[in-house]
Amino acid sequence: MKIAHVITALNVGGAETMLAKLVEHERAQGGDIESCVISLMTPGVGGDRIRASGVPLHSCGLDGALALPAALARLRSIIGQERPDIVMAWMYHAHLAAVIGAGLQRPSIPLIWNVRHSLADLAQEKPATRAIIRVEALLSRLPRRIIYNSHAAAQQHERLGFCASRTMVIPNGFDCGHFRPQPGSRERLIERLGIDPAALIVGMAARNHPMKDAATLVEAVRRAREAGADIHLLLSGEGMERPVGDLARTLQAIPADRVTLRGHDRSLAEWVPGLDLLVLPSAWGEGFPNILGEAMSCAVPCIATDVGDSRFVIGDTGIIVPPRDPALMAKAILTLAEHGPDGRRELGFSARERVRQKFAMDRIGALYAALYDSVSGMAVQRPNRSQSSIRRAQVM
């Protein structure tokens, strides 16, 4: 079975990461699933990972509004050449483009939309994105299935008019062999970044964007330090090395030798295990945050705001706080600081076991394979597994 994945862009983000993990997993498993990836825009760094996996990668060359007609024509041509059994579109712009690219084929090709975003407040989206979402609500009976990576996103989109009968929730998946605890990782991180070994290392890995709300975490760390905790804050992600606005002003309250700012780093699996805590302070927009699953796989306890499915992901292995509440976030940091190394280690291994049981890539890959079966009506060969061991894709 051949799957054509259409995605708006291939830069750094949760959708790009999950797509790469999925095609890597399917290729490693062998069997009948064959994929190609089509990026509407010229692929960025996310395209490098797709190419390295050996999966064919195409670009439609969409670099502005004037290029849209040519890009759509290119998309239709690529789909016609690849002749996939299913087209799965990732992210809003790709959903609409794939309606044209897949629907104008003869015969038309079954379409799946894959939604990777939550919508707590539609007003927080850009005007163009709001318009696209409203159009998609009207067209939402066209795809055979609409996949959401979080229960929260499914409910939010259904309230906006997305067809509920098409809904299916498949969480993000994680390679627990790649993201794993590593002896000596804290010591290596301390040496690499010049961190005082006595400090509690609190990390955040996300792009510098108002949605991620790093300023709330910085203020929470300031308050926790004021309460007596010696904390070293590590902010890593696209644009974090160049803080501006509220983030830059708030950082001035943290001693320079207790802050490390770094840009995007692909080696998360190398340094995340060295953290004492990971915090995700998002104000809105999360669906199923990859970084939570990755940190938990590394046995790092997490604190996150109650946005998207973060509460569901963490369960009872960490702490959930309201968004934009630095006082409660500081309290959560102090609580886990008081656990001590042994208490945090125990909590971290509970987090890893939760990922292994619920979100391991083998399990999530099987759900996607079952989805392909249900949409295409074709049987997918899965080596080394009995048919009875494969659960149907379902709302989890």
Residues 296-311 as b or e (16 or more Cβ within 10 Å = b)? bbbbbbbbbbbbbbbe
Indicate whether 234 and 244 sit together in one domain: yes
Indicate whether 352 and 365 sit together in one domain: no
The answer to whether position 66 is within a domain reads yes
Indicate whether 134 and 271 sit together in one domain: no
Is the pLDDT confidence value at 140 over 50?
Answer: yes
- Return the CA Rg of the chain: 21
pLDDT band for position 157 (50/70/90)?
A: very high
The answer to whether position 264 is within a domain reads yes
CA dihedral 330, 335, 340, 344 (to 10 degrees): -90
Indicate whether 366 and 325 sit together in one domain: no
Is the pLDDT confidence value at 260 over 70?
Answer: yes
Cβ distance 56 to 36 under 8 Å? yes
Amino acid at 359: F
Structure tokens at 57: 């990668």
The answer to whether position 180 is within a domain reads no
Query: How confident is the model over 282-313, as pLDDT tens digits?
Result: 998 888 999 999 999 999 999 999 998 999 99
Indicate whether 224 and 270 sit together in one domain: yes
Number of domains composing the chain: 2
Q: Which pLDDT belongs to residue 159?
A: 95
Domain span holding position 370: 2-173+360-389
Is the pLDDT confidence value at 276 over 90?
Answer: yes
Indicate whether 89 and 197 sit together in one domain: no
159: three-class secondary structure by DSSP: helix
Q: Which pLDDT belongs to residue 348?
A: 98
The answer to whether position 210 is within a domain reads yes
Query: How confident is the model over 5-46, as pLDDT tens digits?
Result: 999 999 878 899 999 999 999 999 888 899 999 999 999 888
The answer to whether position 178 is within a domain reads no
Distance of CA 69 to the CA centre of its chain: 30
Q: Which pLDDT belongs to residue 73?
A: 94
Residue 325 backbone zone (phi > 0: left; psi -120 to 50: alpha; other: beta): beta
326: three-class secondary structure by DSSP: helix
Indicate whether 122 and 232 sit together in one domain: no
Indicate whether 13 and 30 sit together in one domain: yes
pTM of the predicted model as reported, rounded to 2 decimal places? 0.85
Question: Residue 72 phi/psi, 5° resolution?
Answer: -65, -40
For the chain, first and last CA: distance in Å? 25
Query: How confident is the model over 312-328, as pLDDT tens digits?
Result: 999 999 999 999 999 99
Query: How confident is the model over 326-385, as pLDDT tens digits?
Result: 999 999 999 999 999 999 999 999 999 999 999 999 999 999 999 999 998 754 554 444
The answer to whether position 179 is within a domain reads no
The answer to whether position 396 is within a domain reads no
The contacts of residue 246 (CB under 8 Å, 6+ apart) are 215
Is the pLDDT confidence value at 396 over 50?
Answer: no
Indicate whether 155 and 228 sit together in one domain: no
CA distance 248 to 261: 11
Distance of CA 373 to the CA centre of its chain: 25
Indicate whether 94 and 192 sit together in one domain: no
Indicate whether 371 and 249 sit together in one domain: no
Q: CA nearest 80: which of 53, 50, 55, 101? A: 101
Structure tokens at 33: 């699933």
Is the pLDDT confidence value at 388 over 50?
Answer: no
The answer to whether position 143 is within a domain reads yes
Task: Check which CATH number belongs to the domain holding 258 and give it.
Answer: 3.40.50.2000
Indicate whether 193 and 252 sit together in one domain: yes
